[in-house]
Amino acid sequence: MTLDDVLHPPTEPLRSGRLRVSPLHELYWETCGNPQGIPAVFLHGGPGAGISPTSRRFFDASRYHVALFDQRGAGRSTPLGETRENDLPSLIADIERLRELLGFERWLVFGGSWGSTLALAYAQAHPERCLGLVLRGIWLVSQEELHWWLYGMRNNFPREWEAFAGHVMPAERGDLLAAYCRRMESDDPALNLPAARAWSRYEGSCIALRPDPVNGDNFEQDAVALGIGRLESHYFKHQAFLRPNQLLDEMARIRHLPAFIVHGRYDVICPLRYAYALHDAWPGSVLQVIDDAGHTSYEPGIAQALVQATDRFARSGRFDQ
């Protein structure tokens, strides 16, 4: 089974544009699918990863009207990698601005990895705007999860971690996040760009069950690395602007919404236990664990589960049948 076997056929945007959301930030957005279809919004990961043409293919273009956009500092939004005026409340407000611009009353919220974090936070802020949620690779942004990403992943990817830690001086390795933030918060490209490349390559090298050097190479490209490296370290530093345990504590606000959660059993970026924690706090949710997958939505088993979930919702408005 390949990715093309399970995704919907490629589709082109219906509309695209740019949305000014602050004096500093302008977002790229696009829509695809059927203008009379079920409204949906795609929230990409990272932070900083951006959307791609493949992002559209998780939805049946005959049944859905999908909005996709690059979050602040990511992809084709400008300025790339900008951390000023970039926080969780601002991103939630941006989603609402886009919804209002497009005239969607309510929509299905789809997000993976950091996109799952943002989807949960958005839904808890605006439950009345959500039809349901499709989530992949759950990240709740606890201190345990942050420490695992910075240090624990070396248990599964020791050489990749050594390269990541080796970018900073030995005396700084006790606090890798602070060491990377010092470099990536600099305005000097000679400091911030190599650090962003090292950070992004580390993540890209660890995202799949079967490591592929191409992933690391793609994540190390400047346009990708600046978004991922600078924004991920920024959000890590501020624990994604969330209170401790906020997303689980606020589950009562969205527990009535239908939800589908998919997670790779061997996800090293976002360990599986946090998907179970979310599922346990959301009794009506459906959790599907993919036994032969890691983190990325581009592994066929995860992609197939996501497509089946959006197809099922289009048929019945539910995920449990």
With a CB cutoff of 8 Å and minimum separation 6, the contacts of 148 are 271
Per-position DSSP letters for 124-162, written without gaps between them? HH-GGGEEEEEEES-----HHHHHHHHTGGGGT-HHHHH
In 3D, which of 236, 219, 209, 208 has the Cα closest to residue 147?
A: 236
Annotated active-site residue in 77, 113, 200, 233: 113
Dihedral of CA 155/159/162/167: which sign?
negative
In 3D, which of 120, 153, 108, 115 has the Cα closest to residue 136?
A: 115
Dihedral of CA 91/147/79/200: which sign?
negative
Torsion of CA 149, 112, 207, 222, to 10 degrees: -90
What is d(CA 61, CA 159) in angstroms, rounded to the nearest whole number? 42
Amino acid identity for residue 72 in this structure: R
- Tell how far CA 96 is from the center of its chain: 18
167 is catalytic: no
Instruction: With H, G, I as helix, E, B as strand and everything else as coil, classify residue 123.
Output: helix
Place of tokens 């695209």: 16
Preceding peptide of 23 cis, ω within 30°: no
- C-beta atoms surrounding 106 within 10 Å: 15
Annotated active-site residue in 267, 279, 285, 297: 267
Annotated active-site residue in 25, 234, 279, 295: 295
87, burial (CB in 10 Å: exposed 0-12, middle 13-18, buried 19+): middle
For 221, the token pair is: 């490209």
Q: Which residues pair with 276 in a beta bridge?
A: none
113 is catalytic: yes
For 215, the token pair is: 């992933």
77 is catalytic: no
Catalytic sites, residue numbers: 113, 267, 295
